[in-house]
Structure formats: structure tokens, C-alpha cells
Amino acid sequence: MTELVEYIAKALVDHPEEVTVNRVEGEQSVIIELKVHPDDMGKIIGKQGRIAKAIRTVVKAAAAKEGKRVIVEIL
């Protein structure tokens, strides 16, 4: 799942080399922390969080296939 978040993030930003993704195992869910270059924040969040919402929707669908609950956090 980290691979998916990293892939989408890198495709959207101007500084793909500064995308870092971290996986934190929770009790019932997996938290994926996404960090990007400060200038790329807008490209990952979007107006009213539209891009962030779309990323979460796609990741959630992929996670459902594996029967997991995934939370994507943008740091």
C-alpha cells in the first residue's frame, strides 16, 4: 500500500525525489504517512483537499481488496 501512495504522489509533484512514505501499523488499521517538498503541498492536497480526497479514495479501494483499513496522513 505504501508503494501505491508513493507512486501516485511522485506522479503529481515537481520534486519526486523528496517524496517519503512511512507505514505505521495500528491496531485495526494501517496509517500511511506521506511527506512531500513544501512547495508540492498544494499539488498533493488541492483546492479544498480535492486531490488528497481522491488519493484517499483510490488507496481505500486498493486496501479493501486486501481487507485492510488504511489511513493516509499528509504531514
Distances (CA, A) of 64 to 9, 14, 30, 37, 75: 20, 30, 12, 29, 23
Q: Is 24 in the site for other proteins (CB under 8 A)?
A: no
**How far apart are CB 48 and other proteins at their closest, in Å?**
7
Q: Is 70 in the site for other proteins (CB under 8 A)?
A: no
Annotate 13-51 with DSSP letters as a single string: -S-GGG-EEEEEE-SSEEEEEEE--GGGHHHHH-GGGHH
Q: Is 50 in the site for other proteins (CB under 8 A)?
A: yes
Q: Is 30 in the site for other proteins (CB under 8 A)?
A: no
CA torsion angle 44 49 52 58 (round to 10): -140
Cβ nearer to other proteins, comparing 31 with 58: 58
Cβ nearer to other proteins, comparing 27 with 59: 59
Write out the residues near other proteins by the rule CB under 8 A. Answer: 3-4, 7-8, 11-12, 43, 48, 50-51, 53-55, 57-58, 61-62, 64-65
